[in-house]
Amino acid sequence: MLDAALLAGTHDRECVFEAFTRRLPTGRRYGILAGTGRLLDLVQRFRFEEPELEWLRSNHVVRDATLDWLADYRFSGTISGYREGEVFFPGSPFLVVDAPFAEGVILETLILSVFNYDSAVASAAARMVTAAVGRPLAEMGSRRANEGAAVAAARAAFIAGFSATSNLEAGRTWGVPTMGTAAHAFTLLHDSEEDAFRAQVDALGPGTTLLVDTFDVEHAIDLAVKVAGPQLGAVRLDSGDLPNLVRTVRAQLDGLGATNTRITVTNDLDEFTIAALQASPVDSYGVGTSVVTGSGFPASGMVYKLVAHRSHNGDGEWIPVAKKSEGKASIAGRKHPVRRLNPSGTAIAEAIHIVENGAAPDDNGRSLLVPLMTDGEAHPEFLGAAGTIAARSHREAAMRELPDQAFRLGRGDPVLPTIYV
Amino acid sequence: MLDAALLAGTHDRECVFEAFTRRLPTGRRYGILAGTGRLLDLVQRFRFEEPELEWLRSNHVVRDATLDWLADYRFSGTISGYREGEVFFPGSPFLVVDAPFAEGVILETLILSVFNYDSAVASAAARMVTAAVGRPLAEMGSRRANEGAAVAAARAAFIAGFSATSNLEAGRTWGVPTMGTAAHAFTLLHDSEEDAFRAQVDALGPGTTLLVDTFDVEHAIDLAVKVAGPQLGAVRLDSGDLPNLVRTVRAQLDGLGATNTRITVTNDLDEFTIAALQASPVDSYGVGTSVVTGSGFPASGMVYKLVAHRSHNGDGEWIPVAKKSEGKASIAGRKHPVRRLNPSGTAIAEAIHIVENGAAPDDNGRSLLVPLMTDGEAHPEFLGAAGTIAARSHREAAMRELPDQAFRLGRGDPVLPTIYV
């Protein structure tokens, strides 16, 4: 596309691209947007260096003039969008890119890769946070996702309300609080379970979390309290029939005087099994596979579409464009989305105004687009650890606007209607 | 774990770790192993540099002695495993790591991240290749996966029998054949569909593939053949009721004399919709979301377990170890897996021998473990583009051994029993 547009001289037509999803995953009532902070950083650093150019050259992928263009590539456009952590619905134009065609089209895969995955994780994680009714959740799924995706997943889960991650790189890069855990291998390495517990308590103190299901849970709990004392921080259960087991373990700990020792559970949990433990004396959850794979929906179905370009015939008018493909038609023209609220502050509709020349619509609702990048420079408040924490706060505020039925775990329709006005 | 083992002096006990999956995704009859070539390269380069050490230090994650150990980290162990592209079943010990505890345990997340994702993609992709009955498949799902995962997915799909990818980085890094496509944005950018087609043919020649469903398919096909001539390479359909549409389009192309123009389809395909097109005159498929997300199973459920460590009490005997956790028990001791074949060369069982001191078992079947890395040095034939192509060939050979029922798309049990002997 780039090669052909450069040859045709259409590459520098001023364009508006929008990213949105046509539908939520089946039965989901809302989505949580994540990825913005990562994307802005990636766009600012997006370059074609000599190794890439050389490969394109020697494989005759594009013409020499296109290689020259790529060598100079630096995104110079302007991006606005929903704040990271915002709630979204079908059609929500969560990212709007204003750029010459070539500069904007070449970012399509990067933009969609980041938002499709990060938002899939955040949207699933938010449901788990609801199911946990205030108990803390730790993201422990790095090993179930691609090694790079794992870092993004830890960040997205934190934005959605998880308390911590076992991924240290997410701590280093994005400021996500981190925690560790011991695996069964640590117990098996030692000559006895007692030796293993002692080694862990010696290094990490009695406040550590001991894994108690390697052999026999009842025996291990006696041992754990014997080694660490009743000030033992927590025990972790990674197997078994959790609702019953947790009750028994709580009674045993209390009987041993370890009344402040917490119980953390980690056995293939998802939002439904977490909900099933609401009445059990669990203190915290560790979630792996289900959160990093979006709990059944590992991609958010987001697309990136050209919606308008500026006429090059002298008048400079914006020309709205859309495809008409069966079942996949898009809506032409620049959008301005507004979340309408009722007088008590509860969201009632996603109102999407189609505007010309970027004029703000006349609507009392909460305007959803904010400037994210201007002339190729990202607004710094969205980047790094600060941007990640801001996204987590915004997610909390945006979710508070939603009507109660948004938080039911059962299948339902999107909780707000999307209205084009 | 590392911190505590270093303090306890148990960190350098000689260990054997094995990676395997407890079960295949529901209804799947076999899995395809992918990730080995990527993993060996990542393990060779796995280091803790000053930025990581400084973060660990300033956050008091581990003690100073542990930081020193990490600063010197370089994997010095030995790895054997199934060849990349091999078929696997529940329990198949596809990777065996011989290393001191600390060196081996620290690789757990990296190993599982790589194999869980890459094998999920390859296992799904192999079913699509079967469903396509010899027609070529292109992987076009980069935008539906994390930006790093996308490169791994392109590679895994190629190993599983896909012909090409739209991910140029996978071409550059792993030698996967690449292809391009035009999006609807390219058509919408131009003043008319005819202008867009002409721009594309001018740049890429009449052998290119024109996207014909932006507005009206019938009109676009007339236009495409008018612009490119009957030597037009292909048309792409990305929407609509494909079985019917493809037949109509074929008749129209033939009527225009474009009898060699191919039809490629790309509308949210998976193995089942590909199978449903077997009787339609489709020439090739482009597959996105379903292949990069493992067609419903984005993680392979692989785990990494300590199975033995060498006694430190002077006799140097191997001590087999296993956890007994309810529903998640592991099998102690070093394994030696063999694929048993009947006299006509068809696989009949995955026989897993539990051996002491690494002795090869007495079994006529095909021995499945090969040396991959010795004393920290990867065997070069498994790396890079050459390793990727070798994996693709091995996958083909390994799949030829499977009984016919392996290739049914409907739900079934693993096609070979796993036997411990």
Rg, C-alpha atoms of chain B: 25
Task: State how far the Cα of B160 lies from the Cα of B163, in Å rounded to an integer.
Answer: 9
Mean pLDDT of chain B: 96
Main-chain dihedrals φ then ψ at residue A62, nearest 5 degrees: -135, 165
Task: Look at residues B419, B148, B177, B134 and name the one whose alpha carbon lies nearest to residue B284.
Answer: B134
A201 or B325: which leads in pLDDT: A201
Which two three-digit tokens encode residue A171? 């701590």
How far is A89 from chain B, CA to nearest CA, in Å?
18
Q: What is the pLDDT of residues B356-410, one digit of tens each?
A: 766 677 888 999 999 999 999 999 999 999 999 999 999 999 999 999 999 999 9
Can you give the pLDDT at residue B357? 64
Q: What is the pLDDT of residues B215-266, one digit of tens each?
A: 999 999 999 999 999 999 999 999 999 999 999 999 999 999 999 999 999 9
- Residues of chain B with Cβ-Cβ distance to A328 below 8 Å are 238-239
A178 has a chain B CB within 8 A of its CB? yes
| CA-based end-to-end distance of chain B | 33
Quote the DSSP letter at residue B380.
Answer: G
Helix (H, G, I), strand (E, B) or coil at B262: strand
What chain A holds in terms of domains, given with CATH numbers, is 2-121+297-420 (3.20.140.10), 134-290 (3.20.20.70)
Can you give the pLDDT at residue A362? 82
* Stretch B52-79: mean pLDDT: 97
Contact B149 A144 (CB under 8 A): no
Region class of A34: left (phi > 0), else alpha (psi between -120 and 50), else beta = beta
Q: What is the pLDDT of residues A9-63, one digit of tens each?
A: 999 999 999 999 999 999 999 999 999 999 999 999 999 999 999 999 999 999 9
Can you give the pLDDT at residue A357? 64
Residue B333 has pLDDT above 90, yes or no: yes
- Residues of chain B with Cβ-Cβ distance to A157 below 8 Å are none
Which two three-digit tokens encode residue B407? 């290739």
Residue A358 has pLDDT above 70, yes or no: no
Main-chain dihedrals φ then ψ at residue A115, nearest 5 degrees: -75, -40
B72-77 contact pairs (CB < 8 A, 24+): B73/B46, B73/B47, B73/B48, B73/B103, B73/B106, B74/B46, B74/B47, B74/B376, B75/B43, B75/B44, B75/B46, B75/B99, B75/B103, B75/B107, B75/B373, B75/B376, B76/B103, B76/B375, B76/B376, B77/B103, B77/B104, B77/B373, B77/B375, B77/B376
Contact A8 B213 (CB under 8 A): no
Q: What is the pLDDT of residues B202-228, one digit of tens each?
A: 999 999 999 999 999 999 999 999 999
A238 has a chain B CB within 8 A of its CB? yes
Contact B326 A171 (CB under 8 A): no
* Stretch A258-283: mean pLDDT: 96
Q: Are B417 and B350 in contact (CB under 8 A)?
A: yes
* Stretch A194-205: mean pLDDT: 96
A385 has a chain B CB within 8 A of its CB? no
Can you give the pLDDT at residue B170? 98
Task: State how far the Cα of A92 lies from the Cα of A88, in Å rounded to an integer.
Answer: 6
Confidence band (pLDDT; 50, 70, 90) for B330? Answer: confident
Chain A residue whose CA is closest to B204: A4
Which two three-digit tokens encode residue A52? 């890439």
Q: Are A340 and A349 in contact (CB under 8 A)?
A: yes
Q: What is the pLDDT of residues A58-108, one digit of tens each?
A: 999 999 999 999 999 999 999 999 999 999 999 999 999 999 999 999 999
Write down the number of H helices and E strands in chain B. Answer: 15, 19
Can you give the pLDDT at residue B370? 98
Q: B358-391 as b/e, with b when 16 or more CB fall inside 10 Å?
A: eeebeeebeebbeebbeeeebeeebbeeebbbbb
Sequence-ordered strand ranges (E) for B42-186: 78-81, 87-88, 95-100, 137-139, 164-165
* Stretch A288-314: mean pLDDT: 94
Beta-strand relationship, B335-341 and B347-354? antiparallel
Chain A to chain B, count of Cβ pairs less than 8 Å apart? 265
Confidence band (pLDDT; 50, 70, 90) for A397? Answer: very high
Alpha-carbon distances of A105 from A1, A36, A242, B197, rounded to whole Å: 9, 18, 50, 17
> Which amino acid is it at B308?
A
Instruction: Name which of A7, A55, A150 is nearest B203 (Cβ-Cβ).
Output: A7
ipTM entry: 0.97
Task: State how far the Cα of A189 lies from the Cα of A201, in Å rounded to an integer.
Answer: 16
Longest dimension (CA), chain B: 84
Residue A290 has pLDDT above 80, yes or no: yes
Provide the whole-model pTM.
Answer: 0.97
Beta-strand relationship, B262-265 and B234-237? parallel
Main-chain dihedrals φ then ψ at residue A378, nearest 5 degrees: -70, 145
Can you give the pLDDT at residue A374? 98
Residue with the two structure tokens 């030692």: A190
A310 has a chain B CB within 8 A of its CB? no
